[in-house]
Structure 1
């Protein structure tokens, strides 16, 4: 076997230029890639898993065990495919500048403001719902630990607790990088772990069997209940608003590593959902409620579980502020495509200057949240925090608003936008696709010279099939949007996700 040296001018050194060229991108852009693979997974999993986990047993009671498991797995696969397409799309952009806005500039420039507005509204609404959950649960948590809490009015006042927890999340909301939230995300995941253990423990103990209702294995509860529960499962995987931040900040942004982040995150969430859904449903049968924790006999353990939900949503709030701020900034900076043709329509300018560069060129600016000036960053964040606090203090239920926002915003960023973006940007006639394909071919030739037989080249038929599947995902997203909006309009009932 031949040994390769690093002596300048040697054939080994010449044949490894492709590897050095790719690795040099990371060395030149370390400022944009400091997050580890594990921390990226932690933040993405925390973005995915939320209080909706508690509604999984109820959703399964409407669908039956077999159909419920299928829907959970299917929804996870479609969500993972959307994340995968986002990682593919990011290859057409400068390292550290991937975003829905940057992609829209080379695909659907005049619709960029609509895309970012939808993302901002969706993230803002979810953030407000988290604050409302805190206000609703904390009085019960206090009563659980102290039966005489009602004697002190402010301890059972929802507005008091919303204010207290806002003081905790405000500093976290002003962090620029998503990776900075990895430790709070770990705490949130510990809270989810406790909830899962609680549900499994009661199932194994069997202390709920006396009040258990009928169990459906293959049968379902009917079309209408199933349609009402379907959006709960579909939207339980929404994390796509933070995927580009993950791609911008991860240290090793190779295709294998970023795909691994998507698969590991969605797989972890699906495992939690299936475990809670099955054990929770088998514990209570068709008598299960939308919030399974509320079904257990009041005790210290169930009170801690409610406190765990509060911790979970508290540390999930900054994960909604992060993409909301970036999208609001993009909306404020947006101009029609013809407003500044000289700079906006050039294919060789970077996303920070309104059009993206392909990989290989040195990026001139870091991720989007890092390009915002200090003053602008502070103002936008302050406005988001103040408005969400005001909404949480004055509105006690956002169920209807969230149902419509989720049907449109979550569907758009999870399915429609990733599908449409990849379908447009990967078209054979696209200049961006041609340039990226040429660079990939050059790198593959270099790899063949260096490591003959060890490269994993994609089959020629892979990209055309992937492009067709991306269009199918966008169409699927449109179908889900119509289905969910129709369900909200014509089959309105008690929300399955209410906690």
Structure 2
């Protein structure tokens, strides 16, 4: 099989590259290799799939994969870092995320196939393949669970706010357990049946438009919300009382440029994980029309830049609305009787719901790569995996009350692995020594990148354990 040849390093392009034939520079688009070049060298032709997804739809899908529930905690992160430190950290993390995707794409170019699991196989053999598949599966199941957990908690409140419900009774349609089943069956499952991830570009675009509406509303509320907050009678007095216990009146309406406090360290991993999209990068690359490393890197850079702008604006205007009083989830700060903010809550729920199918695709691909990589496409397997995953996630969200703690710990290990550790290790082991020696600048940068990943992992696990011991919660999520 072609996959086996590529996995064993016997792909024809590898042999030709080693011989260094100059004639390759004159090959046309219809020949064996892609026409794009990297540092004067022809990139490997990908034979795993012929993509048909446009550049724009790929941006929508990757942006939707980046955008997560963590955006609701960024204003809180700014309150605990200050505006300047927050901006510096966000820029730093966005650049690191783009660099991480560069390492993935460079490694994929050497292997000749765009599958995370195959990169693991090429780098570390069968253990590497299994490790990559397991990390992707656990991380994305955690992401799916967190999204549905938001639906379970918030959707009943939205229905109660938009409808006049009978007193002293709780209808079944405001029970979060029933609602997530209904949403999974009517919305998520049909989208998860799509054969290709590229088809979800339209729903991803709509999901992003919902988040743009959220951003516009946050900006609008900044200019109509009085400060100090106790002047506004519609806000939750219990929340304000708790907040004012820990914040002096002098700090209530004062923006801090740099802030260092015990919560500052907790916010750094939250911001780092705000750009997690790496399990979706290679599947999107697989389905891209006219694929090349440069084209896919441009998609990644555009998506990261767009999300950087949304993250920054949300954090700034959310922080400048509530200042030091902002909570870990921004929407909780707004009145539950405000019709506009009820619509915003609904838009956010729609956005996270439409993200679930995008997150599901890499899990299904990982399972297929692990158990039947050489078998042709089968609708039975395609549908069965989607059904099993949705049933599993629904059961977890319905019956496990501490699901966020469980997957918080998994996320503390899987997110640094996907962002920093695995891309760096793949790059170091897959790119040939004759092309880039271990002491070369790119390899040294990759080693430093992996080291940074382990530091982030240790920090995240430490914070999770500190939460369990002290009961002090850190905000965020993906």
TM-score range, shorter chain: 0.7 to 0.9
- Give the drift of 1:331: 3.5
SS of alignment partner, residue 473 of structure 2:
coil
- Does the aligned pair in 2 maintain the 1:135–1:161 contact within 8 Å? yes
SS of alignment partner, residue 32 of structure 1:
coil
SS of alignment partner, residue 275 of structure 2:
coil
| Residues 1:115 and 2:132 aligned together | yes
| Residues 1:102 and 2:118 aligned together | yes
More off after superposition, 414-423 vs 26-35: 26-35
> What aligned pairs does 1:19-418 form with structure 2 within 5 A after superposition?
20-21=30-31, 22=33, 32-94=50-112, 97-109=113-125, 110-148=127-165, 151=169, 153-167=171-185, 168-211=187-230, 213-222=252-261, 224-297=262-335, 298-332=337-371, 371-418=376-423
- Give the drift of 1:20: 4.8
RMSD: 2.8
- Give the drift of 1:80: 1.2
- CA-to-aligned-CA distance 1:286-334 (integer Å, 9 cap, x gap): 100112122122311010011011101110111121111122233435x
> What aligned pairs does 1:411-450 form with structure 2 within 5 A after superposition?
411-429=416-434
More off after superposition, 198-207 vs 137-146: 198-207
Instruction: Rate the CA distance shift 1:107–1:230 in 2: closer, same or farther, 3 A.
Output: same
Structure 1: state its 5+ residue gaps. Answer: 1-12, 334-351, 354-369, 435-460
The CA distance in 1 between the partners of 2:25 and 2:308, in whole Å, is 43
The CA distance in 2 between the partners of 1:371 and 1:220, in whole Å, is 55
- Does the aligned pair in 2 maintain the 1:117–1:331 contact within 8 Å? no
- CA-to-aligned-CA distance 1:86-107 (integer Å, 9 cap, x gap): 111121233xx41121112221
- Give the drift of 1:203: 1.3
- Give the drift of 1:146: 1.4
- Give the drift of 1:380: 2.0
| Residues 1:17 and 2:27 aligned together | yes
- Give the drift of 1:379: 2.4
Instruction: Rate the CA distance shift 1:71–1:165 in 2: closer, same or farther, 3 A.
Output: same
- Give the drift of 1:242: 0.4
- Give the drift of 1:376: 2.5
- Give the drift of 1:388: 0.8
Instruction: Rate the CA distance shift 1:371–1:466 in 2: closer, same or farther, 3 A.
Output: farther
- CA-to-aligned-CA distance 1:93-149 (integer Å, 9 cap, x gap): 33xx41121112221012321221111011111111111110101111011111326
Instruction: Rate the CA distance shift 1:59–1:199 in 2: closer, same or farther, 3 A.
Output: same
- Give the drift of 1:208: 4.9
Instruction: Rate the CA distance shift 1:332–1:28 in 2: closer, same or farther, 3 A.
Output: closer
Instruction: Rate the CA distance shift 1:231–1:147 in 2: closer, same or farther, 3 A.
Output: farther
- Give the drift of 1:39: 0.6
The CA distance in 2 between the partners of 1:254 and 1:201, in whole Å, is 41
The CA distance in 1 between the partners of 2:174 and 2:451, in whole Å, is 47
- CA-to-aligned-CA distance 1:352-397 (integer Å, 9 cap, x gap): 55xxxxxxxxxxxxxxxx9443332232222111111111221244
The CA distance in 1 between the partners of 2:477 and 2:297, in whole Å, is 33
What is the TM-score of this pair, normalised by structure 1? 0.78
- Give the drift of 1:265: 0.8
The CA distance in 1 between the partners of 2:446 and 2:417, in whole Å, is 13
Instruction: Rate the CA distance shift 1:14–1:23 in 2: closer, same or farther, 3 A.
Output: closer
Give the match for residue 40 of structure 2: none
The CA distance in 1 between the partners of 2:445 and 2:290, in whole Å, is 27
- Give the drift of 1:249: 0.8
- Does the aligned pair in 2 maintain the 1:61–1:221 contact within 8 Å? no
Give the match for residue 10 of structure 2: none
Instruction: Rate the CA distance shift 1:14–1:60 in 2: closer, same or farther, 3 A.
Output: closer
The CA distance in 2 between the partners of 1:33 and 1:332, in whole Å, is 23
The CA distance in 1 between the partners of 2:419 and 2:220, in whole Å, is 34
Give the match for residue 5 of structure 2: none
- Does the aligned pair in 2 maintain the 1:228–1:491 contact within 8 Å? no
Instruction: Rate the CA distance shift 1:14–1:388 in 2: closer, same or farther, 3 A.
Output: closer
- Give the drift of 1:489: 1.0
